[in-house]
Structure 1
């Protein structure tokens, strides 16, 4: 069932049916901007363009570019200088929410935490040890 919502872009009311979070008019404008960016990037000399260069040449907002890359509409494999900001440090990444550096740092911290946890459990078990007396 449709739900009446305000479009976050223009403020107009629209029927939200679970497909997109903006009204039809704004969705059409977004699609038009996507086509402009895509045509720009399809030219051989622009395939390695940075986000800043694309914004400068097309007038599209950075956030919109990041959204298209995150959703898979623009592929970093084809356009190597595209990406979106890491949720932790802000460095551009192509997959997931964290860049490679933050991911490896997080994994290292988790390994350290797990090793410390195992060490604490081992110490605790040693202190609880059972004492046996010899019986003949």
Structure 2
């Protein structure tokens, strides 16, 4: 059984079952918009269109395009200039939540953290050696 939620598009209540994030009328409207976008992109001359160009020509909201790319409905392999914003910097990416640069920076930071932790652990585990002055 679903739960009662507000539609993020129109604000109306709907029975959320986990399949759609919006109510049925808004979902049908999104499908119509998807068809418009897909028809536009199927033309050979439009396959390399950018997100801005698609928004300009079709009038579809940019967030909706990003949602379709995230869900795999519009595949960047077929339409190379499509993507969605990186969760960190906002640059367009086609895979995951972070762009390649942010992902590399995160991995580098984690490697530095692990190296520092390993060094601290090594220092803490060493036994103290005391030398007596020979005079």
TM-score by length of 2: 0.91
Name 2:47's counterpart in structure 1: 47
Q: Note the alpha carbon deviations across 1:103-133, whole angstroms, 9 max, x for none.
A: 011101111111111111111111x3589xx
4+ aligned runs moved over 6 Å, structure 1: none
Q: State the SS of the aligned residue for 2:102.
A: helix
Q: State the SS of the aligned residue for 2:10.
A: coil
Matches within 5 A, 1:1-136: 1-126=1-126, 128=127
Return the alpha-carbon distance in structure 2 between the equivalents of residues 119 and 2 of structure 1: 52
Gapped runs of 5+ residues in structure 2? 131-135
Deviation at 1:13, TM superposition (A): 2.3
Name 1:134's counterpart in structure 2: none
Q: Note the alpha carbon deviations across 1:28-79, whole angstroms, 9 max, x for none.
A: 0000000000000000000000000000000000000000000000000110
CA RMSD of aligned residues (A): 1.4
Gapped runs of 5+ residues in structure 1? 132-136
Deviation at 1:9, TM superposition (A): 1.1
TM-score by length of 1: 0.90
What is the total number of aligned residue pairs between the two structures? 130
